[in-house]
Structure 1
Amino acid sequence: MIRVVFWQGTGGTFTGFTVTGHAGYRPKGEDIVCAAVSALAQTAVLSLKEHLEEEPVVSIQDGVLDCRLPAGLSPAGQEKARVILKTIEVGLKAIASDYRQYVAVEYKSI
């Protein structure tokens, strides 16, 4: 199962996200669920890198993608990050809704 955790700071603002696991929907290389989640997560990372003044802190290992926003973002940077992260949240929640036994979305405070 893929587990997506959106990390939240004070006031519920997103501070990053972590994606762990493998869907197991189909064999490796044929798993559309894994591919969809990976595409959204990687697009979010690329978009954050493109649009923020400071790059997010990103760690990618086998079965794990962790992305944290840099501290001290300007109000404009915070708004850009909010829009990007809320957008992938919508996509990931839709996938989780359609493939409940393969993807779970959670929210945790830091």
Structure 2
Amino acid sequence: MIRVVVDREASGNIVGFEVSGHAGYSEYGKDIVCAAVSAIVQTAVIGLTEILGIKIEYRQKAGKATCVIPAGLSGDQNEKINIILETMLCGLKSIEEGYGDYIRVEERRLN
């Protein structure tokens, strides 16, 4: 199962996320759940880095991807970042609605 954990700061802004595990919906290379999750997450990362020019802390290795948004950004930057990450979250929750046996999306509030 894929597990997605999205971290929010007290203001409600998304400040990071972690995606781990394997869907197990189908065999490697034919798993539509894995492909959909990967496409949504990679598109969000591209939006942050290439479109907004934000230097995020992003690590990806077999079965796990983590992203941390840097502190100290302007309000305008944070607003744009949040739009991209909220869109990513909506897409992942949509996958969870249809394929809940293969993906879990959780939100965690940080202090």
**SS of structure 2 residue aligned to 1:5:** strand
Quote the residue 2:20 is aligned against: 20
The alpha carbon displacement at 1:53 in A equals 4.6
The Cα offsets for residues 30-52 of structure 1, whole Å up to 9 and x where unpaired, read as: 00000000000011111100233
Quote the residue 1:91 is aligned against: 91
Q: CA RMSD in A?
A: 1.0
Give the partner amino acid of 2:45.
Answer: V
Give the paired residue count: 110
TM-score by length of 2: 0.94
Report the Cα distance in structure 1 between the residues aligned to 2:65 and 2:15, rounded to whole angstroms.
Answer: 14
Quote the residue 2:100 is aligned against: 100
Report the Cα distance in structure 2 between the residues aligned to 1:36 and 1:53, rounded to whole angstroms.
Answer: 24
Q: Note if 1:61 corresponds to 2:61.
A: yes
The alpha carbon displacement at 1:54 in A equals 3.3
The answer for unaligned runs of 5 or more in structure 2 is none
The alpha carbon displacement at 1:73 in A equals 1.0
Report the Cα distance in structure 1 between the residues aligned to 2:52 and 2:67, rounded to whole angstroms.
Answer: 13
**SS of structure 2 residue aligned to 1:11:** coil
Contact 1:51 1:80 survives alignment (8 Å): no
Identity of aligned residues (%): 46
Quote the residue 1:29 is aligned against: 29
